[in-house]
Amino acid sequence: MTNRYLHQLSQCKRLRDMEIKTSERMFRRQLQPNKAHKFIYCGIEKAGSTFWRRLLQHVQLGTVQTPYRIRPELANSYYVDLSKSTLLEVLGLLKSFTKFIFVRNPFTRLLSGFIDKLYSPNPYYWNKIGIPATRLARETTHTCGHDVSFKEFVEYIIHSNNNPQSKRDVHFIPAHQLCLPCYIQYDFIGKIESFEKDAWFVLGKLNLTQYIPVLQNFKNQAVFDALYDVSHTFVEFRKEASKCLSFEESLKRTWRKLQFRGIIADEINLPFSYKEAENITEEKLLSTFIKANKQSQKFDLRSQKPKHLMYAYSTISLQTLEKLVEVFMIDFKIFDYNIYPAFIFQNTNISTRT
């Protein structure tokens, strides 16, 4: 992790003349301080932020429990909002506290956000991002935003980054704009790609080793948590989403979301009819997901998620991909991610660039 810190410093020196598009208020809202243990976490959505915000609730309350005991929808309870603090107060905390962030490959972070917030039933994000994205891409304005394609979504992300008046959301904003790593020297930079190892390391450095034992079954806990969250969200949004999608189509998308994430095998089909989708309870849905996940263990789940990632980006033109890279260029460089990975640029000569 020391190498990441040094890499960030060297890259930020090279990029010091680049303009960082952000707002002071947005930056403050990402910060989660703990004054008792003197550390600050800067949360980056779709990069483990829900996990850390729940764990930090336990730290705040002095309870040694797994963060998965807290439901995902309650992740921001006890959140210490620094957006109303003075700049002097925030700078004082940043100067004296240990600071850490967790980051993620921009390509996987963006697709994860699309699947979670726009592909799966979510009327709030259909309205906030889906409608403006489809209006930008099409002549028609008659849409709920539920049918926005990944291609249209990517084009909107590029457009909104270059047009300050456009609606943006923290789930899709570059990490460097959220946490300002070229202005704030974070002591530890963890990555989703090595999350478990990095989380243990950070907990040790923060003198919170008492939380490591409750996370020993981390992967299984994370899968169950995802299944619960998807079940709960489907039932919560089912009625409102039905204004745009049938119950059956909403459930199909929810099922596919778990397949995209490599939790349920592509070979296992949705076992519900239209009538069942309309009336299914959260408990029944959760038990079905758990059963499907167990049945999926005999299939090659490890290659499933990368396969869907490759397919999603194969729908994006080379010209658009290059524009997308420009939007996230600082993230790629300071967090040491491959700008032109072969699994995305496999059909072009661009993958030979450095």
Per-residue pLDDT reduced to its tens digit, 232-263:
999 999 999 999 999 999 999 999 999 999 99
The residue extents of the domains of the chain are 2-104+173-215
The backbone torsions φ and ψ at residue 233, rounded to the nearest 5 degrees and listed phi first, read -65, -40
pLDDT digits (tens, 9 = 90+) for 87-131: 788 889 999 999 999 999 999 999 999 999 999 999 999 999 999
**Beta pairing partners, 14:** none
Q: What is the pLDDT of residues 69-81, one digit of tens each?
A: 888 888 877 777 7
Dig out the tokens for 333 from the structure.
């460089």
**DSSP label at residue 140:** -
Beta strand 39-42 with 98-103 is: parallel
E strands along the chain, which residues?
31-34, 39-42, 98-103, 188-191
Terminal-residue alpha carbon distance, the chain: 23
> Cα-flanking dihedrals φ and ψ of residue 39, to 5°?
-140, 160
Q: Say what the pLDDT of residue 18 is.
A: 66
**pTM summary value:** 0.92
The CA distances from residue 230 to 71, 136, 249, in Å, are: 12, 29, 15
The mean per-residue pLDDT over the stretch 146-153 comes to: 97
DSSP, collapsed to helix, strand or coil, labels residue 217 as coil
Q: Is the pLDDT of residue 352 over 60?
A: no
The three-point CA angle 319-322-326 to 5° equals 140
Higher-pLDDT residue of 142 and 134 is 134
